[in-house]
Each structure stands twice: as C-alpha cells, then as structure tokens.
Chain A
Amino acid sequence: MSGAFLRLLEVTKRFDKRSVIERASLELREGQAVALLGPSGCGKTTLLRLIAGLETPEDGEIWLAGQKVAAKGQNTVPPRGRNIGFVFQDLALWPHLTVAGNLDFVLRSQGWEKRTRKDRIEEVLRMVHLFPHAHKYPSQLSGGEQQRVAIARALVARSQLLLLDEPLSNLDSDLKTILLEELSVLQRRLKLTTLYVTHDKLEAATFSDSVVKMKNGRIDESHLTLM
C-alpha cells in the first residue's frame, strides 16, 4: 500500500446497467483537502456515497486508513464503522431533534459516555459558534446556522475523513464566502482529510490543496491540479 489515507482503485458503479462511476481511481493523503470539481450529474455525489458506504461498488476497491472498506460487489465495513463525517447537500438535519440532540445521536451511537458526550458537544458547538443555539430545533435556525449544525454533526465524533457534498450551494454569496473561510480554517486546524464536492471553480480553489476534475463518471487524471 502507498501512504494514501483514502484510496479508490478502479471503482465502478452502475444504476440499472447505466454506468454512473466508471473505473474511478483517487488517492488522498492524511490531512489533505481535495476538491472534486465537475458539472451536475457527473457522478460526484455517487462517488462520495460510495466512500461513505451508502452505495456498493460493482467493481474496484476502496481503502480507508489502510483498511479495505469496499471491494467488488460488497461493503466490507458498514457506513457506521468507517468513522466518516458527511455534510449532505440538503444538510439532512434530523428535524425532531435539537441541535445538541443531533450531535448527541451521533456520539451515543458511537458509544461515547454521557459526561464526555456533553463536553464534546459543547466544544464542537463553541467551535462553530452555535453553543447559544444548542437547545433549538433546526427549523428555528437560519440557513447559515443550519449549515454550521451540519458541519458540527460531521465533526463531533472526531471523524477521520470529512466528505462535503456541495455544502454551500443553497446559500447567498456573502454567507458562502464567510462559511467557506470558516470551513477552511477548521480543516487546517483539525488537519482533517477532506473531500469537497462542488461545481464552483472558485469554491474549489479557495478550499482545497488540490482539485480533481470529474466528467461523465470518470476522474480526469490529467486535470489533477495541485495548489
């Protein structure tokens, strides 16, 4: 194995015989922030879902922190065993749980003790400037605050890999700039290995160490740009 933290080897995914991801290979070093850039429908989201274990590859292998997590036709490690933080495009905040409840669900599911859970939730909420809103429900927050909850939830269990699926696409440009900067600072501070999916070149360039282009389900290796 190379020193890659995340490694995709010739991964293929089909829906109804239609190939959505075609022999995609990709490597991310530990602590690296990579942007995956491509037009809508090119398979970026499906690639993230394969890495998270929410889809099963038809072919190829996925390695995470030296462990094979998916191989031809099966996920050898389920999503909950991969220790991944995922910020979905529509955020997917659980509407019946408060901000703290959203984070607590993750920690409890991962077997954290009650006292450490409380401290960790407070720490992460302070990190994203949301501590005063801990007991509010997602519907009581603004768009930017909801975005921060989603990021906090992805970070709370000290995930080893952060997957961001166009997390800022629904925000206005001013808020997008602020949150992108905050995300970037967090990523560097926590040295988080991060894969950031976007179709916005400027966003990709601002956030990441390197940009990988994707088109028609294929990763265009000739367009790997190191910043």
Chain B
Amino acid sequence: METVSVNSTAFRHSHALPSARALTLGLAVTLFVLFCVLPVVYMFVVSLTDAAGSFTLNNYRQLLTEPRQRGLMVTSLILGGGAAIFATVLGAPLGLLFARARLPAKRLLRIALIVPLVVPPYIMALAWVLLTGPVGLFARVARRDFLSDWTYSLTGAVVVLGLAFYPLSMLATEAAARRVDARLEESALLAANPRRVLWRITLPLIGPTVAAAGLIVFVLALSEFGVPALLRVRVFTPEVFTAFAAFYDFGAGVALCAPLLVVALIVSLAIKFIIGERLLVTTRSLQLGLPLTFRRPFQTAILIGIAVVFCVSTLLPLAALLFETTGINRIASAVSRSGHAIANSLWLAFVGATLIVALAVVLGYGRARARSRVRMFFDPTLILLFAVPSTVVGIGIIGLWNRDGVMGQVYSSQWIIVVAYIARFAPVAALMLAAGIRQISTSSEHAAEVAGASWTRTFGGIMLPQLRTSLVATWVVSFVFCFAELGATILVAPPGESTLPVRVYTLIANTPSSEVASLALMQVGITLVPLLLLTVFLPKKGARKPA
C-alpha cells in the first residue's frame, strides 16, 4: 500500500507542475494574444463604443444609413471582387497547366510568373502610373495622354491588384491539382473520356481550393492600402489612413475600420468552411494525375499566352521602372540619399521575420497537434488576423501601445514597427508552419518520448531538423512581407524612423519620378534575392511513379 501511495503522489506531482511543452505553448499563445489578437480586439471594442465610453452600434448603423459609407463599401467590394475574379480567371488555368501539362522549362516559367506576388502591389501601381499615367511612357511616345483616365480608376486598381495576386490563385490551383488522388481520375477514365473526367471529377475536386484562393485574394485586395491610395480610388483603407493621419480623427478612423473588420470575419469563416482541414494539407498525390495534352498549335498558343501574362504582369512594369531611373548613377544617388531607410528596412525585416518564425513555429506546433475543437476556433482566428487590413492593425497598435510604461517605450522606438510586422504576419506564418508540422508523423515524437527525451529535446532535436525546409521558406516569405509592409508601418513608425516602402510612398508626391523609380527598383531587387535563393536551393518535390 505504501509503495502505491508514494508512486501515486509522484504521479500527481509530475502532472501538477506545468510541463515544458505547456509552458512553451502558453508563452507563445500569450505573445500571440498580445501582439496579434489584442490590436484587433481593441479595434472591435472601440468600434462598439462611443466617445463617452458607452456601448453603441452607431459605427455599424452608419454603414447602412450613410451614403458615403455605403459608397465606400460598394467601391471596396467591387475592388476586392473584381481583383479576385481577375486573379482567378488568370491564375487558375495557369495553375492547372503547371500541375498537369507538359511544358518546356516549367520550373523557370513558374518562378517568372510568381514574381508579381513578391513585388509590393503599390510598386506595381507606381510602375503602371509611370507607364500609362498622364506623363507616362505611353503618353510621351504617343504625344498624347490616352490612358491616364483608365489608370486612375477603379478598373485600373482592379487590374493592378488582379495582376499582383494572380500567382496566389495559380499556386493554390497547382497545389490542389497535384493533391487530387490519381486513382480518382483513373477510375473515371475507365468509363469516360479525358475531357469529361477533367470537368466532372478533377475540377469539382479542386474547385473548393480555387474558391478559397479567390476569397483570399478578395480580402487581400480589400485590405490593400497602397494601390487604391496611389490610383486615387476611394475605398476604406486609404480613407482610414486619411481620417487618422491627416485629420487626427480617431473616431472616424475607427468607424471606417468597422465594415472592414466585419468583411474580414465573414471571409475568414467562409474560407475555413470551404476548405476545412485542406488548409494545412501539402502532400501531393503519389502518382501524377490526368495529364493535359495539347496538339502542337495549342501548345504554342499556351506558351504565347504565358509569355503575354509574364510581359504584362512583370516585364512591362519592371521595364518601366528601369527606364524611368535614367541610369545606374541615378540609382546610386537615390540609394545614397535613402541609405538610412534601406538599412532600417533590411534590419527590421530581418528581426521581424526571425521573431515571427520563432513565435509561429510554436503556434504552428500547437495548431498541428491540437484537438478538433481548438482547431475549429484557431484556424478562422489566424485567417481573420491575416485578413484584417494593415491600416486597421496600425490604428489598433497605436491605441493599444501608445500609453505610459514599457509599452509606451516600445511605441516610441523603432521596435513598434517590428510589433506591427508580428501582428500582421505571424498568423499566416503559423498556418504555413502548422502545415509543415502536420507532415511529420506524431510517432517520431512518441519514439523520442519513449526513448526518454524531454519535450524540449524532442522539439529541438527531432521536430525542428525535420522542419528546416518549412522554416526557411516561412522565414523568406515573412522577410518579403515585412520588407514590403506599408499600411501599418506608415501609421506606427516614430518620427525619423522610416522604412523603404514608407520613404517611397512619401516621396511619390513631391520628388522626381526617376528617384522614386530607383528606390522602387531597389526594393524589388532586394525582395527578389531571397525568392530566387529559395527556389534554387529548396529541394524539388516530384510525383512518384507507380511501383
């Protein structure tokens, strides 16, 4: 009896103390709530409060009653919806081709078509202004301005955002098409011709992912600040910035944020409902599915189509920036004048990406190994936080961190920019790493546990080494996102602490276009370097042939 008593006491003690796993996860969740959740919750709470601090639905009522709010909402929805449709129409067929068609230099073509995704959308908008604006290249060559009405319009913004985000739809479609179990198509081929199999089996199976990617583009376009601001399209995000930064009207800023928060919430729930657990599935089918084969003239037409998409989405805008810089000397002098902003951007993006990955790997682990109830809550939260517009996050951070004490000290330093980066991009990084962790069998953890390893040793020695490719990819994506961040940074950056995107944006109005183009080109160049390194050094994943 005594032995049993001693053992059971020891057992109770071992479970009374929180384990290293629980402590690590608890710390990560606390930081996640502080950096990512609280600014958004703060905005929600403030949007439901009047000047006297009482509960009110006025901000939401205004959305239905005020013509200005209604107008902004309609324009915002057209912008988001138009960009989503355009990006899907362009990206989904390309994704299907990359997954199933035999194309020459496929890897190179894919890299070329992904470029617009890593170039900040506002740089794309700037390039199109330099091309088709009133004093743009086309106007100078034709000696008349025939395109600027189109450029500075809702249609122009839809096209620019569609061209910026179509790679997202392309990559999602390609991944979905590669995930389709080849047996499903083969069993259909026993009865039907390939075209019918494509329409009735393949496309319905990848449809939900294509729709979810469309919704993600919708919400990214809706949250985009730089493009509508540059192209003078009146939607919520620039209006939020103007209300807050130009008129210092916190209440008006919050009122304008309210509809964006509602749309972000609806869309994040819709995405979770449409694709569910497939959000984290990255495995490919063991066998290549139904191949798309084309006769020679069609194959040539497809390659010409891909070349046209590449030219319009990437080559033409970058060529416009290059042409506008008027030479290497100009680039060098622009860089020397903005050296501080460039160095600041590089350093802050490096620190931001590293901290994001450190936080996201623990959150991703928690998500990947969580029970279904936690997952049901956690996924929409992560999507919602990523979907909240940058300007809304920026105002939330200001409201939350602009106070006395430690938070105030952080707020008045450049670290507040890193806080903004974490708030914006840790959720998506956590989703990426959760997908990677889901690929690692739980039995490899259990084997280490049985062998006597502590959780920290198992996590550091077993999990992280297996996760290194995902860690590198997530770090690069986070770095690219941080380096290009504009909407939140422009609001939270303390006086004198500028980043490259903020400097480019503020120079556009009153500086020669050659200098702005030089800095924009510099930003594109810095962004492309990690992408190229990633695509060159990441191991290739190939479909295996049947045994």
Residues of A within 8 A of B (CB): 15-16, 20, 41, 45-46, 49, 52-55, 78-80, 82, 84-86, 88, 90, 92-96, 105-106, 109-110, 153, 157
Most chain A CB atoms below 10 A, which of B186, B191, B201: B191
Give a binary string over B170-209; 1 marks a CB under 8 Å from any A CB, 0 the rest: 0000000000010110111111110010001100110000
What are the residues of chain A within 8 A of B191 when measuring CB–CB?
Answer: 80, 105-106, 109-110, 157
Contact B189 A90 (CB under 8 A): no
Nearest Cβ in chain B — how far from A215, in angstroms?
A: 15
Cross-interface CB contact of A105 among B192, B205, B547, cutoff 8 Å: B192
Alpha-carbon distance between A153 and B545 when the two chains are bound, in angstroms: 26
Contact B188 A94, beta carbon cutoff 8 Å? yes
Check if B104 is an interface residue, CB within 8 A of chain A: no
**B405 at interface (Cβ–Cβ under 8 A)?**
no
A49 touches B546 (CB 8 A): yes
Are the CB atoms of A20 and B188 closer together than 8 Å? no
Assuming the contacts A90-B181, A90-B183, A92-B184, asked whether A109 and B192 have C-beta atoms less than 8 A apart, the reply is yes
Q: Which of B184, B187, B190, B547 has the most CB of A within 10 A?
A: B190
Chain A nearest CB from B546 CB (Å) reads 6
| Closest partner residue, chain A, to B197 (CB atom) | A109
Q: In the complex, which of the residues B187, B196, B200 contacts A88, with contact meaning CB atoms closer than 8 Å? A: B187
The CA-CA distance from A45 to B546 in the complex, in Å, is: 9
13 interchain pairs (CB within 8 A)? A15-B545, A41-B547, A78-B193, A79-B186, A80-B193, A88-B186, A90-B181, A94-B187, A94-B201, A105-B201, A109-B191, A153-B187, A157-B191
Which residues of chain B are within 8 angstroms of A84 by Cβ–Cβ distance?
A: 190
Residues in A neighbouring B183, C-beta threshold 8 A: 88, 90, 92
When the two chains form the complex, which single residue of B186, B193, B200 contacts A92, counting CB atoms closer than 8 Å? B186
Write out the residue numbers on chain B whose beta carbons fall within 8 Å of the beta carbon of A54: 186, 189
Q: Are B190 and A94 in contact (CB under 8 A)?
A: no
The docked-state distance in angstroms from the alpha carbon of A45 to that of B196 is 25
**Which single member of B181, B190, B205, B545 contacts A96 (CB below 8 Å)?**
B205
What are the 6 closest A-B residue pairs judged by CB atoms, nearest first? A109-B192, A92-B183, A109-B191, A106-B191, A92-B187, A96-B204
Q: What separation, in Å, do the CA atoms of A86 and B191 have in the docked complex?
A: 10
Question: CA of A85 to CA of B187 in the docked complex: distance in angstroms?
Answer: 9
For B546, give its contact among A46, A80, A95 (CB under 8 Å): A46
Cβ-defined contact, B190 with A92, below 8 A: no
Q: How far is the CA of A88 from the CA of B200 in the complex (A)?
A: 19
Given the complex of chains A and B, what is the CA–CA distance between A214 and B547 in angstroms?
A: 15
Question: Provided the pairs A20-B547, A88-B183, A105-B200 are in contact, do residues A95 and B189 lie with their beta carbons within 8 angstroms?
Answer: no
Known: A86-B187, A109-B196. A92 touches B546 (CB 8 A): no
Is there contact, CB below 8 Å, between A80 and B190?
Answer: yes
B184 contacts which chain A residues (CB < 8 A)?
92-95
User: Known contacts A45-B547, A52-B186, A80-B190; can you find 13 more A-B pairs with CB under 8 A?
Assistant: A52-B190, A53-B190, A55-B546, A80-B191, A80-B192, A88-B186, A92-B187, A94-B187, A94-B205, A96-B204, A105-B192, A106-B191, A157-B191
Choose one: A20, A82, A90, A95; the contact of B205 (CB below 8 Å).
A95
Asked if B181 contacts A80 (CB within 8 A), the reply is no
* Chain A min CB distance to B418 (Å): 44
Digit string of B513-547 for contact with A (CB within 8 Å is 1, else 0)?
00000000000000000000000000000000111
Which of A16, A41, A105 interacts with B545 by CB under 8 Å?
A: A16
Bound together, the chains give a CA A46 to CA B196 distance in angstroms of 25
Residues of chain B contacted by A95 (CB below 8 angstroms): 184, 205
Q: Report B275 CB to chain A, min CB distance, Å.
A: 13
Are B196 and A15 in contact, with the CB atoms below 8 A?
A: no
Nearest CB of chain B from residue A60's CB, rounded to whole Å: 18
Q: Within 8 Å CB of B188, what residues of A?
A: 94, 105, 109
